[in-house]
Structure 1
């Protein structure tokens, strides 16, 4: 089905554009660059799609045009942080490292930066569905994406005002949204519990049947365009007269230009080549994959009160969500993935089957204003595409288009430039 293994070349490596990162952003960008006629080499310390791209929720979340936090979360924050298995966890040992990031996040809740973020997310998301449809059609794999909408459900009558306020905010941003009563929810997803009060349906969203296979199919398409994939960790980078030297074992890589697209690991290389300190951190996300659950849901369903998502996939039902700040080094927190199953109880007429369930944890690259960096620096020798938080899958195809445009000499898009920090 897919060929995701790296090659093992001998001797020094040279290329026109070196892409650092074989996640969904890096692979989609490599394909776009190769189709422009560039010679492209992709480097990663692990196999393609084995980072955050492997375990994401699979939701094409074009409706999510608001930052990861807003002013309303401040009142709920203490309670959320005191719940060890709640939707948000902060490892207190990590607090000194995280404090500057959270300070910047709070500053971005002010009106002007907040509206800039909404405008930036909306601009990317509005083009995401069409970009994905065109990309998948071009590799003859349109069936990997289901354009069938998604549903946000609520359980308690007291939650109705919050749901109505969200609907109004969505409509202000011209996000297509429909208000469904309880009967409409039961008609569309009859296995959901009858106590659900209703929800918001987003018709211009969808879900991917297998995020890992998606990366693999893009790798195959990129290889057919001449892209080389090499499993090699890049340790540092510097300029020379010919371009960029990427220092790594067992060999250095020489490139005229470099694209940094290694997600939550992008900050050190960006600083080495640009001198800019990027306030990049990671939202550690969890999922629980239920391989015995097929046919429970027709599309992705999110719970307003419980704050997690359930996505039907080819290999079962994926429960995903929660945000954890603990950095890149600490091991997964026991119980956070299993907590997703506990959150699902009561949402269905019959509880989900957890036999052979598998947990996962990955690093979502997040910046305090919730916008990615998509930029070109040093006379085009350094291209940047990272920091998409939980929207990396959603925005990958449209980001790849913008990376290719920058490589062709077009200006880097606002408001995603690195110099905003």
Structure 2
């Protein structure tokens, strides 16, 4: 049986968002129990791209995708794949996504993403500094490169859109790219450099270090599968495969698995789906890049890390339970061919797949509901790592009943 010692807040989900929130809440004097079916950091947080993507202020799709969608879906190794067997279940989510491409909802999503992203860099600096692990993050910028001369117009248009959203961005000529990253191919035409971004040298270690700090602050961890729960006058009862956990409040932050528990406790059916993402880790490629580099045409990212070079990207809609299609991870190596003076080595390479939790308006749910007994922090899509630290600060304010008007865009009742 799970111990039922006095718990102020049970945090369900030990990914980067849940662990950061547990630490924040414990530092505010709360007795916190962290619960996950896996060890901390072993979900989507384990293998993300490691990029602090503060420049990505636009939703996961815009109207331009409609023209490209048929061709993209017909390519099984393309940047977007939809498992046709999953289509009937996914249709309501895609319908909501399309409705959110209308000008009004789209701009609300941009504003919501931008608000979180603008606070993300400072929040991460504060959080890692507070545990003495600032070296895990490198604020060295990131680069979006293009190869075809005809892509320059699209790149310039993107630059203009980002400048309108106050994103710091510089155009780099081909010579500037070669000087900064000499191992990249000389055929590259140039790119956009984002100075207010950076990368984590080991995302999994970041979770582990935060978890150790959380334990030192009094957070208990229980490895258990939470199957449901109910509200009562004294708080929350969570049912798990290890027994029942009682708490005054619960924070639901279990990523792509958050919908069921949210529905059980709040009665609200959340349109949460998962964008399955892949990476390929190349342990023999430590010196290829000085910072994260994304390809405009090939639509994937390469991030230098302590253990090598991580190639990440692609979106696959196939649900929570379908087995991974690891050929999509190996496709990332094929996409890298031609981007370097010398092809990357795959010796010792390891593939991985994770479940990104995505809502159709590209905004997370960050809220306090059910008379304060239920806190919510999930649905950060591609930006879970980027927004984890600022989300933790916001959850800390919600726990103290101090949420501000800027949190309105992330409310549960928008659905």
TM-score (norm: length of structure 2): 0.99
Matched, 1:213 2:205: yes
1:22-421 counterparts in 2 under 5 A? 22-411=14-403, 413-421=407-415
Q: What's the offset of the Cα at 1:389?
A: 0.2
Q: What's the offset of the Cα at 1:334?
A: 3.8
Q: Does structure 2 retain, via aligned residues, the 8 Å contact 1:12–1:251?
A: no
User: For the aligned residues, what is the CA RMSD?
Assistant: 0.9
Q: What's the offset of the Cα at 1:249?
A: 2.0
Q: Does structure 2 retain, via aligned residues, the 8 Å contact 1:311–1:317?
A: yes
Q: CA–CA distance in 2 between the matches of 1:180 and 1:195?
A: 14
Q: What's the offset of the Cα at 1:13?
A: 4.7
Q: Does structure 2 retain, via aligned residues, the 8 Å contact 1:374–1:383?
A: yes
Q: What's the offset of the Cα at 1:14?
A: 4.0
Q: For 1:15, what is the secondary structure of its paired residue?
A: coil
Q: Once the two structures are superposed, what CA deviation does each residue of 1:223-263 show, in whole Å capped at 9, x if it has no partner?
A: 11100111011000101221100001222000000000000
Q: For 2:105, what is the secondary structure of its paired residue?
A: helix
Moved over 4 A (4+): none
Q: For 2:7, what is the secondary structure of its paired residue?
A: strand
Q: Residues 381 and 10 (structure 1 numbering): CA distance in 2 closer, same or farther, change over 3 Å? A: closer
Q: CA–CA distance in 1 between the matches of 2:3 and 2:299?
A: 50
Q: Once the two structures are superposed, what CA deviation does each residue of 1:395-417 show, in whole Å capped at 9, x if it has no partner?
A: 00000000000000123612000
Structure 1 unaligned segments of length 5 or more: list them.
1-8
Q: For 1:220, what is the secondary structure of its paired residue?
A: helix
Q: CA–CA distance in 2 between the matches of 1:14 and 1:109?
A: 46
Q: CA–CA distance in 2 between the matches of 1:131 and 1:16?
A: 24
Q: What's the offset of the Cα at 1:10?
A: 6.4
Structure 2 unaligned segments of length 5 or more: list them.
none
TM-score (norm: length of structure 1): 0.97
Q: For 1:33, what is the secondary structure of its paired residue?
A: helix
Structure 1 residues 47-56 or 12-21, which shifts more? Answer: 12-21
Q: What's the offset of the Cα at 1:11?
A: 4.1
Q: For 1:68, what is the secondary structure of its paired residue?
A: coil
Corresponding pairs, count? 413
Q: What's the offset of the Cα at 1:325?
A: 0.1
Q: For 1:339, what is the secondary structure of its paired residue?
A: helix
Q: For 1:237, what is the secondary structure of its paired residue?
A: strand
Q: CA–CA distance in 1 between the matches of 2:403 and 2:27?
A: 20
Q: CA–CA distance in 2 between the matches of 1:10 and 1:258?
A: 16
